[in-house]
Amino acid sequence: MKRWKHGSMIGVMAVLVACSSSVPLSRRDNLAYIYGKGSAQMPLLARVHHLGDERSRIYFKLNTADLLYKSDGTGGPFHAKVRVHYEAYDSFGAKAPLDSASTLIDDPSPAPTEEKDLIGSMDLRHAHQRPFILKVVAHDLNRDLESAVFLRVERAAGLTDQHFMPVDTSHGLPYFTDHFKGGTVRVRCEVCTGKELIVRHHPARTALPAPVFASVAPMDPAINAPADSTFRVSVDANGQFKLDLARPGAYRVFSDTSAVPAYSLYSVTEAYPIVTSTDDLLKPLRYITSNQEYDRILRSDDVRKAIERFWIDAAGDRERGREAIRIYYGRVENANRHFTSEVEGWRTDRGLVHIIFGVPTSIYKTDLGETWIYGEENNLMSLVFNFKRRDGSTDMNDLVLERDPLLKGAWYRNVESWRNGRVYHN
């Protein structure tokens, strides 16, 4: 394992062992915790990078502020102890893992309240040539708290998006997103060393998802829009190239021999990942406002005050309004953390459902998508949302809701609850 702390490399001893008692990854495992309060207490980010035909590496990131540092009572430094392990499965219905391993992190710190990123890596022990599911788990041993992420590992012939990894320009540390607010980004692709790649820029997608009951979800015209510019980049001797993301939209990277993009980077401007600007506050509000209300807020002399007034009027007083704001935009940010694909997480189908309905009671994953259940299973009064992978997409996060007219009543009830300041704390 390699480990970095806020950009500087620190050498540590790590234990890498095979797991002998892994639990089968059943398609009926309730995974609601990965999007809920538990995972939010210790956010874990992970990505896979293929260094060559036979070598792959898992990178993971935690933040020291989310870990518990304990003193051993001798006056020495405080220590955080985290076990990170992975399990590889053929599918979500697999009964036994293909492979598993773990590493132990013992991080000393004289100031346990100091906030830094903790970035590490583990080599995948075997190079499976077929797609498989990877479960990565971080376990804070000092407080017995776990967080997990699931990745689909692709090893198709030729280049895949997992051959590419954006890194910072200062220390070469990995980024755990392919979405950036402009700027210049450096990208690693060791197998592309010395090659020239084609990059095509596509306009940004701007449409919001349709309500959950829509009979036909409108197609965002930008999905199939042709490239508006094409250029080439050269990969240097270190297997790296740079992209200038000055224009919002998708930057799709092709090899000379393929008509299918191997990798995409996105330049975004909308409420991502953290809600900070007035624009960030306004646009997600469209889910619970009428056209007239939204336009009135948009055209007001002070948009930020108009947004605040909307929430105070909805909740009935300033204190309840602030609580509604905290929960609503907390869900926007949580959606960005978990559901971002070609667009920011809050603008995806899962982001829409998460913001309006909150964290489901149950989540079940399959190789094709996810099922969210609000309420008891097999109860006719419960709400069920089925999300399927978009046709032609290999991105596990690119899921589309199977819309159902029967969800119309539930949709309007929950929207009205938001508009009346009644917030479900789930």
Closest CA to 233 of 189, 167, 267: 189
Clarify whether residues 214 and 320 are in a common domain: no
- The sign of the CA dihedral 203, 177, 162, 170 is positive
Q: Domain check: are 125 and 235 in the same one?
A: no
In this structure, is residue 353 part of a structural domain?
yes
Distances (CA, A) of 31 to 23, 339, 359, 363: 14, 15, 11, 5
CB 146 within 8 A of CB 121: no
* 133 and 189 belong to one structural domain: no
What angle, rounded to 10 degrees, do the helices at 349-357 and 408-419 form? 60
Q: Is residue 323 part of a domain?
A: yes
Amino acid at position 321, single letter: G
3 state SS of 326: helix
Query: How many Å apart are CA 272 and CA 283, to the nearest integer?
Result: 12
What CATH code is carried by the domain that includes residue 73?
2.60.40
**Burial classification of residue 199, based on how many CB atoms lie within 10 Å of its CB (0-12 exposed, 13-18 middle, 19 or more buried):** buried
Question: DSSP alpha helices (H): ranges in 290-379?
Answer: 291-298, 303-315, 318-339, 349-357
Is 273 part of any domain?
no
Q: So what's the pLDDT on residue 420?
A: 86
pLDDT at 218: 56
Q: Are residues 235 and 310 in the same domain?
A: no
CB 24 within 8 A of CB 94: yes
The four Cα atoms 77, 136, 30, 405 give a dihedral, to 10 degrees, of: 120
Give the amino acid at 224. N
| φ, ψ (nearest 5 deg) of residue 379 | -95, 125
- pLDDT < 70 regions, the chain: 1-28, 37-40, 126-128, 156, 216-224, 270-271, 392-394, 424-426
Same domain as 127, residue 81: yes
**Is residue 108 exposed (0-12), middle (13-18) or buried (19+ Cβ within 10 Å)?**
middle
Same domain, 257 and 203: yes
Which domain covers residue 172, as residue numbers?
A: 166-267
Same-domain check for residues 233 and 291: no
Q: Tell me, yes or no, whether 235 and 284 share the same domain.
A: no
Report how far residue 104's alpha carbon sits from residue 100's, in angstroms, rounded to the nearest whole number: 14
What is the three-class DSSP state of 61? strand
Residue 388 placed within a domain: yes
Q: In whole angstroms, what is the distance from residue 266 CA to residue 250 CA?
A: 5
**Residues 248 and 388 both lie in one domain:** no
Q: Residue 169: CB partners within 8 Å, gap ≥ 6? A: 184, 186
Q: Mark whether 27 and 142 lie in a shared domain.
A: yes
The pLDDT value recorded for residue 219 is 60
Nearest CA to 282 out of 266, 268, 271, 267 is that of 271
The last residue of one of the domains, among 103, 126, 155, is 155
Looking at 218, 242, 267, the residue that finishes a domain is 267
Residue 76: predicted pLDDT = 83
How many Cα neighbours within 13 Å face the side chain of 270? 23
CA distances from 32 to 151, 360, 386, 396 (A): 16, 6, 14, 16
Contacting residues for 33 by C-beta, under 8 A, at least 6 apart: 39, 148
Whether 292 is in a domain gets the answer yes
Statement to judge: residues 151 and 14 lie in one domain? yes
In-domain check, residue 426: no
Distance of CA 311 to CAs 178, 289, 325, 359, 422, Å? 33, 11, 7, 22, 11
Bridge partners for 264 per DSSP: 252
Q: Which residue has the tokens 């191997």?
A: 262
> Distance between CA 182 and CA 245 in Å, rounded?
5
Tell me which of 221, 236, 267 is where a domain ends: 267
Q: Which of 12, 115, 9, 99 is nearest to 58 (CA)?
A: 99
Specify if 161 maps to a domain: no
Residue from 39, 155, 172 nearest 88 by CA: 155
Domain count, the chain: 3
Over the stretch 7-21, which tens digit does the pLDDT of each residue have? 333 333 333 333 434
Integer Cα distance of 274 and 280 in angstroms: 8
- Chain segment 83-99, per-residue pLDDT in tens: 999 999 998 888 889 99
408 and 354 fall within a common domain: yes
Residue 257 included in any domain = yes
